[in-house]
Amino acid sequence: MQGSGGSDNEAGGFEASRLGRKDHWNSVYDRELNNFEESGDIGEVWFGEDTAHKMLGWVYDNVEATDARILDVGCGNGHLLLELASEGYTNLVGTDYSAQAVDLAKRVAKNRSLDSAIVFLMQDFLNPHDVARVAGSDKFDLVLDKGTYDAICLKPSDVDATAVDRSAADAYPVSVVDSLKDSGVFLITSCNWTEEELTMRFAEHLECVGRVRHRSFKFGGAVGQTVAT
């Protein structure tokens, strides 16, 4: 993939969307933060509970060390890390570029008395200096992504808001690698890319070592999944 800064109307078959804009997510989490303060509802679980449970199940089955250093990129309300902390994992970091999301995640963790196991930080995951700041010298054993790469692939170009910023999608795999230990694992779930497309897009930087099966559907004689992990 080659980053162009966005002169095309689409990249990988997708057009730029509000889902790739920071101001959209600030608005979403500002609303969910207010809802949490009023009702205790932490907000939407991106891709649904079933998908989250699939990812969590993989962690439980494959990461035995509860002190493994785990990063959730684009953590939103922190749902994945909150569940991991409740199961005894103690070395968790969640990052998001939305200050409102980080604030919400911190408040939920404190409300559940899980804040000692999780650190929530603001981070621009496309900025190498910010990636290095969060990763530190130890780096991470596991990096989680549930929909963040999807959103980044819809980021509008600074030059043309109707075009996607292809450089963002190109920079993302490098940031993942720079966050991981040499033996680290990247667990990603996407609703925009198939398993084959994800493997191809990250092949220059990472080796595909496994997959998580989701519910399948059949349409027109073809069998597929609504998400890929």
Question: pLDDT tens-digit profile of 100-156?
Answer: 999 999 999 999 999 999 999 999 999 999 999 999 999 999 999 999 999 898 888
- Residue 11 in this model has a pLDDT that exceeds 80: no
pLDDT at 13: 59
HSE-CB for 227 with a 13 A CA cutoff: 23
Q: Name the DSSP class of 112.
A: T
- Between 165 and 196, the higher pLDDT residue: 196
Quote the percentage of the chain above a pLDDT of 90.
54
pLDDT at 217: 39
- Between 213 and 166, the higher pLDDT residue: 166
Contact in structure between 164 and 153 (CB atoms under 8 Å): yes
- Between 194 and 116, the higher pLDDT residue: 116
Distance set, CA 29 to CA 38, 98, 189 (Å): 14, 8, 21
User: Picking from 97-101, 164-168, 186-190, which range would have the lowest pLDDT averaged per residue?
Assistant: 164-168
User: What mean pLDDT value characterizes the chain?
Assistant: 84
What is the arithmetic mean of pLDDT over 62-87? Answer: 97
pLDDT at 216: 42
Both structure tokens of 11: 């990249």
Q: DSSP string of 201-229?
A: HHTTT----------EEEETTEEEESSB-
Q: Which H or E run contains 38?
A: helix 22-39
Closest by alpha carbon to 192, among 1, 19, 76? 19
- Residue 186 in this model has a pLDDT that exceeds 50: yes
- Residue 10 in this model has a pLDDT that exceeds 50: no
Residue 74's CB: how many other CB atoms inside 10 A?
Answer: 23
pLDDT tier at 174, thresholds 50, 70, 90: very high
pLDDT at 43: 74
Residue 196's CB: how many other CB atoms inside 10 A?
Answer: 10
Contact in structure between 152 and 165 (CB atoms under 8 Å): no
Question: pLDDT tens-digit profile of 201-220?
Answer: 899 989 988 888 755 433 33
Pairing of strands 222-225, 140-146: unpaired
pLDDT at 67: 98
pLDDT at 133: 98
